A and B are shown apart, each in its own frame.
Chain A
Amino acid sequence: MPDLDPVIHAQARLRITATLATLEVDDTIAFPRLQELLDMTAGNLSTHLRKLEEADYVAVSKSHQGRMPVTYLALTKRGRRAFEDYTDALRDLLGQAP
């Protein structure tokens, strides 16, 4: 029985990772837009993003929009692979063909 990656296998982080996985490989998303799409509080989102960043699943880049600093986020190559492996493991557990 395959084990489920504990970094992804928690409700909030699963939602975040699944959302970031819908972006094209080179695209990044601004923190406020991600927050809006997920309908999460900024604090809760930050906490879970930090855990994903610590696991090297999410890359954070800073940019400026006029004078406002904006944080952009994306899955790293490692994060994308981990999400695919996680999805495969889930399907495996449920007896579905990947």
Chain B
Amino acid sequence: MAAAATSAHSGSEHSDGEHSDGDERLDPAAALALLTKQQLSITTQRGSFVSVITAVWGVVWLIGFLVLWLVDAMRPEFSIPLPIAIGVFAALMVIGIGVSAVVGVRGSRGIKSGPNAAFTGTAYGLSWWLGIIGIPVLGGGLQSNGMSADLANIYYPAAYLFFVGVMFFAAGTIWRAIPAMVTGVWMVAIAIIGSYFGHPDNLLFYAITGGGGFLVLAVWDAARNRRIRRATSATAASGA
């Protein structure tokens, strides 16, 4: 039936280009190009909030780890008291989580998940607690068996970065987002490498490669989005 309708229309295939209601027909190459561009435009528009989240985390880690590094790095000339440094780090984390949640919700507005996607999202969200609770409890076990405060200074940031990296990688595999997978591998790698620097240089290393790395990634992602938006906006205008 569909085939018959197509052949009936094929005579006027290229003659009704003056209509601007979007009912004009296309040649196959133009149709495939339009389809590809349209899907790229949508995934870019829907994912554009990710660069904002990445930038926020870049700032959080850059400043957070630098503040922690300044507790011990410049002694005896200068030192930020530990409680203040931890307070600043925690406050930055809360800001980071808050901004991510608000921007993420805004980015996915108007999309209602079906039961399968909702289950995946909830399960993924809950799995963060495995690390948030598990890492300090594991650290407690190690410390009660003789892990020194110096070692704990290496264990905690490395364990958290390692865990966050694995979670980013998992998010990338679930939602088929290759940048998230790359970021995840990057974080796991710097978590491990940083631990070889020893305290407090591991914190400076994390500030630069973690915070700085995220900022570079955010700028790259935003530039890529802008380029795709510019390339696809012509399509949107002609199809509307």
Instruction: Count chain A CB atoms within 10 A of each CB in B31, B34, B109, B115 and give the residue with the most.
Output: B31
Number of interface residues of A (CB under 8 A): 43
Q: Which of B7, B31, B109, B115 contacts A33 (CB 8 A)?
A: B109
Q: Decide if A27 touches B112 in the complex (CB within 8 Å).
A: yes
A22 to chain B, nearest CB (A): 5
Cβ-defined contact, B114 with A25, below 8 A: yes
| B236 near A24: Cβ-Cβ < 8 Å | no
**Contact partners of A7 in chain B: CB under 8 A:** 2
Say whether A15 contacts B111, CB under 8 Å.
no
B15 at interface, CB cutoff 8 A: no
Nearest CB of chain A from residue B62's CB, rounded to whole Å: 33
> Once bound together, how far apart are the Cα atoms of A15 and B236, in whole Å?
9
**Which of B17-25, B88-96, B129-137, B156-164 faces chain A?**
B17-25
Is B31 in contact with A14, judged by CB distance below 8 angstroms?
A: yes
Q: Roughly how many angstroms separate A5 CA and B220 CA in the complex, as a whole number?
A: 39
Interface size on B, residues (CB 8 A): 40
Rounded to whole Å, the gap between the CB of A6 and the closest CB of chain B is: 5
Query: What are 10 residue pairs bridging A and B, where the CB atoms are less than 8 Å apart in the complex?
Result: A5-B2, A11-B34, A15-B38, A18-B34, A27-B112, A29-B111, A30-B112, A37-B45, A44-B21, A44-B22
- B147: interface (CB < 8 Å): no
CA distance A32 to B112 in the complex (A): 13
A11-52 CB mask vs B (1 if < 8 Å, else 0) is 111110011011111111110111011111100100110000
7 nearest CB pairs, A to B: A26-B114, A12-B22, A33-B110, A30-B110, A3-B3, A93-B28, A3-B6
Q: Mark B110-134, 1 if CB is under 8 A from A, else 0.
A: 1111111100000000000000000
Query: What residues of A have a CB within 8 angstroms of the CB of B239 in the complex?
Result: 11-12, 15, 38, 40
**From B5, B28, B43, contact of A6 by CB (8 A):** B5
Q: A19-B39, A87-B35, A94-B29 are in contact. Are A28 and B114 (CB under 8 A)?
A: yes
Residues of chain B lying within 8 A (CB to CB) of residue A60: none
B149 within 8 A of A: no
B240 on interface, CB distance cutoff 8 Å: yes
| A77 in contact (CB, < 8 A) | no
A4, closest chain B residue (CB): B6
Contact yes or no, A39 B236, CB < 8 A: yes
Q: Which of B7, B35, B45, B236 contacts A3 (CB 8 A)?
A: B7
**Residue picked from B114, B237, B238, most chain A C-beta under 10 Å:** B114
